[in-house]
Amino acid sequence: MCGLYLLDYANALNRLGYEFKWVERPEDILAADVRKPFMGICVGLQTLFHGSEENPNVPGLCIIPGTVKLFNKTDKAVPHMGWNEVFCVKRIDEVNEDYSEDNYYSIKQGTVYYFVHSYAVPFTDDLKEWTLATTQYGKEIFISVIQKDNILCTQFHPEKSGYAGLRILRSFLQGDGIVNNVSGQFIIKNPELLSRDRFTKRIIACLDVRTNDQGDLVVTKGDQYDVRESSDGSGVSGQVRNLGKPVDLARRYFDEGADEITFLNITSFRNCPLTDLPMLEILKRTSETVFVPLTIGGGIRDVTDPDGKFHSALEVAGEYFRSGADKVSIGSDAVYAVEKYLANGKKLSGDTAIETISRAYGSQAVVISVDPKRVYVDSPTNAMGHHVIPTSYPGPKGETWCWYQCTVKGGREGRDIDVHQLVTICEAMGAGEILLNCMDKDGTNSGYDLELIQDVKRAVKIPVIASSGAGREEHFEKVFVETNVEAALAAGIFHRREVPIQSVKNYLKERNILVRDMVP
Ligand code: 1PR
């Protein structure tokens, strides 16, 4: 299993009504009965092989021949992060397209499950005996489920794959599949001819969280980052908008089919996140009932708590992971890290939050949240060396060029870094995904900033989440078709129930854009 997801496994087992005991020492493993059913998840699948390109000097368990390989990045974003189809290569008979679910741990042909990995085992003929299902990502077909004798392994995360994933775990725990070992059943001769890339676009619900004037932690939502009701004319700004309770809203979005949920602690720059116990509590409680990936952002940086104790960004992130987060998102600190990198003559220091967290937890666990503002210029030469793009939406003085300035502290302070610099350098530091907001578009319901998003998508190989400005279903279609981003995030329209998640998905499906169907 991936160590990052321990709380998620525990929550899934609790939800299914099972008691469990953690393995605490190597002796616990040695004392285990080798004939007992074994389930490996993600890295748990990969360890059974002889080795992995991820760490060539460390041998695997050598139970299955073959090597785990890095995905080819030339035709797709890496990590492979999101919901993709599994294609069962072992079936009961040649004629029957379907297969008996009971024999196959409820792994359903054509259902999508949540993957997050950069390395995989390519499917080859000599691994047929072990392979229950394959998945295609770009042009590559890899093994997504291994099954033989008492072994079941999935490359995807059942504990993060909604109800479809929970069903697999239940099936395994009940012992289904072991009794009807699939070895000897019909094996599709050339799965590569039948397999297809069914990687879906993700729809993400985002919850901006902060304490309101009464001291309660609430979900709020700004217009261009201003989260207070407009002033009554007295010159005093209004109350912080309250759009609901974080745990309840997250649960609602899970039930409504959100593929992922992001919490942004938007005033964390004022506080020490480790003393922000309500925020950690929100994560813990959400992960008990929400079985899709959770991202938490806000305050991921080196901090000194009110008692003068220093905590590294790695410790802060670790606390969030142990509380149920699957990814952390870094905003202000990413901008400072890039400034430091440029000041040091473009040398990686190795000690930034991005580098330390991605080294310890993997790049897929590190998201960069970008809060850019448009700066118009009348010609590229006036952009002070920044990466400029031509724009079809001229500025106030008719300027036809612009660059995007990075900000920190929730957009309160602009810095001399452009978004292109930020995302390319953060990718080199080990970030695994970009959450691309846009201050000009946030809360406007006028659609995503396609020019910004296209520019960033072209600049990096890691997945990009488009954010800010979604107002209608067609805005999602436009952003996927015109920029090819992997995911689109929205906040206001979901909170105010203006556009339900399912209606976005139906709209996309009708236009042949692949999305995950909710399996109840
Ligand atoms: O800098 O690492 O502590 O992280 C702070 C985090 O909090 C950053 O990710 C930053 O984006 C976020 N944040 C800070 N202040 C605000 C604010 O609104 N005042 N929220 C804020 C940013 C933008 C998105 C929003 C989308 C979609 N909000 O999260 O959800 O724009 O909105 P829409 O669909 O309604 O248009 P650090």
What one-character-per-residue DSSP string does 356-373 give?
HHHHHH-GGGEEEEE-EE
Second-level CATH architecture of 3-194: 3-Layer(aba) Sandwich (3.40)
**Does the ipTM exceed 0.90?**
yes
Whether cis (ω within 30° of 0) applies to the bond prior to 79 is yes
DSSP element (H, E) containing 418: strand 413-418
Where do the domains of the chain lie?
A: 3-194, 202-370+418-510
pLDDT of 373 strictly over 90: yes
Question: Ligand 1 centre from 332 Cα, in Å?
Answer: 11
Q: Which of 442, 472, 489 gets mutated to test ligand 1 (max ligand atoms within 8 A of its CB)?
A: 442
Does the domain at 202-370+418-510 match CATH 3.20.20.70? Answer given as yes
Sign for the pseudo-dihedral over CA of 423, 426, 432, 438:
negative
Please tell me the predicted confidence (pLDDT) of residue 184. 46
Binding-site annotation: residue ranges for substrate: 299, 437
Would you list the DSSP string of 31-86?
Answer: TS-TTS-EEEETHHHHTTSSEETTSTTS----SS-SEEEEPP-SSS-SSEEEEEE-
Concerning whether 223 is annotated as a catalytic residue, the answer is no
The yes-or-no answer on residue 159 being catalytic is yes
102 counts as catalytic: no
Q: How far does the centroid of ligand 1 lie from the alpha carbon of residue 351, in Å? A: 25
8 — alpha (psi -120 to 50), left (phi > 0) or beta? alpha
Q: Is 410 in the pocket of ligand 1 (CB under 6 A)?
A: yes
State pLDDT tens for residues 94-108: 444 554 444 577 887
Strands of 283-340 (E only): list them.
Answer: 294-297, 303-304, 310-311, 327-330
Give the pLDDT band of residue 179 (cuts 50, 70, 90).
very low
Q: Work out the mean pLDDT of the chain and round it to a whole number.
A: 90
The structure's pTM equals 0.94
Find out whether the beta carbon of 320 lies less than 6 Å from any atom of ligand 1.
no
- What's the alpha-carbon Rg for the chain, to the nearest Å? 23
Beta bridge partners of 377: 401
Q: How confident is the model at residue 87 (pLDDT cuts 50, 70, 90)?
A: confident
pLDDT digits (tens, 9 = 90+) for 7-65: 888 999 999 999 998 889 989 888 888 788 899 999 999 999 999 999 999 999 999 99
pLDDT tens, position by position, 447-505 = 999 999 999 999 999 999 999 999 999 999 999 999 999 999 999 999 999 999 999 99
Question: Which pLDDT band, with edges at 50, 70 and 90, does 376 fall under?
Answer: very high
Separation of alpha carbons 172 and 101, rounded Å: 12
Supply the pLDDT for residue 185. 53
- pLDDT single digits (tens) 412-453: 999 999 999 999 999 999 999 999 999 999 999 999 999 999
